[in-house]
Structure 1
C-alpha cells in the first residue's frame, strides 16, 4: 500500500513522489485478502471488508510531480495492469524480474538521484526503461 499512498499523497499535496509497485485499485485487489492472515512478520491480523471498502473513496492518483517504479516480476500487483492504468499519465521506470518487495532498490536510487537531486537535470526528466 506504500506505492498507492505515495502517489495519492504526493499528488494531493503537490510533492514529488516515487510510487513503487503501487496497488492501483486496492478496493478490488484487497478483496481476496479479507479475513484472517499472517503478516510478513508472522503476526496474526484480520482485514475487514469495511476497511477494504474505504479505498473506493481514494482513487489512484495519476498526476503530480512523480513517477512509478515497477518490478516486472511482482506476483502480488499485476505489473501489466499497472502499466495499462498509468499509461501516459505518469512516467514509469520498469525493472526485469524482481518481486513485490522490490529487488532493484540500488538501481532505483540511481534513477531518483538523477531526477530529483541532480542540479543540472531538468525538472521534467522522464524515467526510461531500466534493465
Structure 2
C-alpha cells in the first residue's frame, strides 16, 4: 500500500524522520514538500495531482499536513490518517505570520496574512479520516480537535503524546482503518 506523508508547517518531507521510518515498517511511504509561501489552493492542487500521478492509496499528515491530508482525502475519496491536525487553519496560522526557519531545510520561509487568508476556516472531516490526538499538544488545542473531528472521523486520543509525537507508531490501528475504508 502506497502512502503519501504530508509534513507540517515550516518543514519538508524527511524520509529519515521517525514517523516516516515507523510507517515504512508496513507501508510504502513517499513524500513531497509544499511551501508556506504558496497559497493554499496551489499547494492542495499540487498534492492532489501528486496522488493521482503516483497511485497513492492513502494520505498521512501531521499538523498543517493533517489539514492537507484531510482535504486531499475528501477530494480523492481516499483514506487519511491525521496526526494532531490543524483543524482551524486561519485561526492557527494567523498566530505564526512572519519569517521562520524551515525545520528541515534550514532556509527562511515567510508566511503572510494574505497567504493565511487563502486557507479554509476549518478542515473537512469525513468518515475516511482517522485522527490521532496527542492530549499534551501545546500548539493545537486537543480538546477542540476532538470536538471538531468526532462527529465524522474516528478519533484516537493519547494522553502522553505532545504536538510532535516523535515516537508515533500506530501501524496496527492504521491497518484496521485502511482495511475498513478501502473495502467499504
Normalised by the shorter chain, which TM-score bucket?
A: 0.7 to 0.9
Give the Cα separation in 2 of the matches to 1:6 and 1:63: 11
Q: CA deviation at 1:45?
A: 2.1
Q: What does 1:5-84 correspond to in 2, within 5 Å? A: 5-41=68-104, 42-56=106-120, 59-84=122-147
Contact map agreement 2:84 2:137 (CA 8 A) in 1: yes
Note the residue ranges of structure 1 that are not aligned, 5 or more in a row. Answer: 118-122, 125-131
Contact map agreement 2:127 2:152 (CA 8 A) in 1: no
Moved over 3 A (4+): none
CA RMSD of aligned residues (A): 1.8
Q: CA deviation at 1:53?
A: 0.5
Contact map agreement 2:130 2:177 (CA 8 A) in 1: no
1:115 and 2:177 equivalent? yes
Q: CA deviation at 1:77?
A: 1.0
Give the Cα separation in 1 of the matches to 2:135 and 2:86: 14
Query: Could you state the TM-score of these two structures normalised by the residue count of structure 1?
Result: 0.79
Note the residue ranges of structure 2 that are not aligned, 5 or more in a row. Answer: 1-63
Secondary structure, aligned partner of 2:75: helix
Report which stretch shifted further, 108-117 or 28-37. Answer: 108-117
Give the Cα separation in 1 of the matches to 2:124 and 2:81: 12
Residue number in structure 1 paired with 2:155: 92
Task: Count residues with an aligned counterpart.
Answer: 117
Give the Cα separation in 2 of the matches to 1:45 and 1:66: 29
Q: CA deviation at 1:66?
A: 2.2
